[in-house]
Amino acid sequence: MITNAFRSRPPRDWLCQNADASSLGLKYVATSGSGPFQEGEFDDFLRRLQIEPRGIAAGTRVLVVGRRDWSENSLKNLIRQRSGQRLWVYSQEMLIAYLATGIDPLTASEDVVERFGRGHPALVYLSEIAGFDWPTTVISGGGGSELDANWLEKGFLKFVGYTVGRSGGTEEERREALAKAYRATRLPAFFPAEYRSEWGSRRSSVRLSKMANSIATFCKHAKRRPRTEIAVAEWEEDLDWLKVTYYDGRYSFEWPSTAVW
């Protein structure tokens, strides 16, 4: 298991001896907790690589968490403060892998990233906070502070940050939000039970069908209104992306059409 390879300082330091932190954009990182390395020792290791460790603050963009001694309240407050913004979160092991290879683990396949996070207390906790479905990097809910009736009208796709049109997200942001919706373990509890059941379990045909039909419905309704060309085009592009990425070769339910008769 890859995490076991990084429990000793000598191999860790050897693996990272040629790391170029500046080229990876790792000038400043916030650290919280220990495990496998003590937080203070790990901070010293980062300083040797010209990375400045800091405490968690509202402006934190990169966070490295240990397996123990991290503060649940600090993490929850950070998610609330970063609502609507990006936050990159790594375990100590993931950051070591990043420094050693120059490849961001958060960009790896879902299986690789989830293997890094499996059983890691802090990462598991973050993945269960409303509005942040680690390992994605976009925070869209506010860490439990946005649990109000407005989300019942906006719906789950809006909740995870999926928006289109002139004021909507970029293609990358839209696709990231859709991937987050597809693999989310559960919908937030403030959505009614009946509504949550309509979305099925993560990575299921029910979840994908609900997503596709929702977008197709949005698109068909918009086609009947003026000045919606951008939104319609993006919905149709995203439906095509969903089909190629998750549907083709895997499921057989009828894929929705956006045609208006």
pLDDT digit string, tens, across residues 248-261: 999 999 999 999 87
Taking Cα atoms as reference points, which of 161, 112, 236 lies closest to residue 103? 112
On whether both 196 and 237 belong to a single domain, the answer is: yes
> Is residue 143, in this structure, part of any structural domain at all?
no
Report the alpha-carbon distance of residue 184 to residue 128 in Å, rounded.
9
**Non-local CB neighbours of 157 within 8 Å, separated by 6+ positions:** 177, 178, 181, 211, 214, 215
On whether both 112 and 11 belong to a single domain, the answer is: yes
Extract the tokens encoding 159.
């909740």
**Final residue in a domain of this structure, among 128, 159, 184:** 128
Query: Which element (helix H / strand E) includes 219?
Result: helix 205-223
Report the alpha-carbon distance of residue 252 to residue 260 in Å, rounded.
23
Residue 62 sits at φ, ψ, to 5 deg, of: -125, 125
Are 87 and 79 in contact, with CB atoms under 8 Å apart? yes
Q: What pLDDT is stored for residue 145 in this prediction?
A: 43
Report the alpha-carbon distance of residue 156 to residue 139 in Å, rounded.
14
> Is residue 195, in this structure, part of any structural domain at all?
yes
> Is residue 255, in this structure, part of any structural domain at all?
no
Q: What pLDDT is stored for residue 236 in this prediction?
A: 97
Q: What pLDDT is stored for residue 168 in this prediction?
A: 84
On whether both 37 and 74 belong to a single domain, the answer is: yes
> Is residue 223, in this structure, part of any structural domain at all?
yes
Q: List pLDDT tens digits, range 58-107.
A: 899 999 999 999 998 899 889 888 887 889 999 999 999 999 999 999 88
Report the alpha-carbon distance of residue 86 to residue 132 in Å, rounded.
10
On whether both 161 and 205 belong to a single domain, the answer is: yes
Whether the pTM exceeds 0.85: the reply is no
> Is residue 26, in this structure, part of any structural domain at all?
yes
Query: b vs e for 233-259, b when ≥16 Cβ sit within 10 Å of the residue's Cβ?
Result: ebbeebbeebeeebbeeeeeeebbebe
> Is residue 259, in this structure, part of any structural domain at all?
no
Are 246 and 207 in contact, with CB atoms under 8 Å apart? no
On whether both 20 and 58 belong to a single domain, the answer is: yes
On whether both 121 and 8 belong to a single domain, the answer is: yes
Domain containing residue 41: CATH number = 3.40.50.10190
On whether both 63 and 23 belong to a single domain, the answer is: yes
Report the alpha-carbon distance of residue 36 to residue 246 in Å, rounded.
36
On whether both 169 and 71 belong to a single domain, the answer is: no
Q: Indicate the number of domains in the chain.
A: 2
Query: Which sign, positive or negative, has the C-alpha torsion 72, 73, 78, 81?
Result: positive
On whether both 12 and 117 belong to a single domain, the answer is: yes
On whether both 70 and 9 belong to a single domain, the answer is: yes
Q: Which domain holds residue 224?
A: 150-247
Low-confidence ranges of the chain (pLDDT < 70): 1-6, 130-131, 140-153
> Is residue 261, in this structure, part of any structural domain at all?
no
Q: What pLDDT is stored for residue 1 in this prediction?
A: 42
On whether both 123 and 158 belong to a single domain, the answer is: no
On whether both 195 and 229 belong to a single domain, the answer is: yes
> Is residue 42, in this structure, part of any structural domain at all?
yes
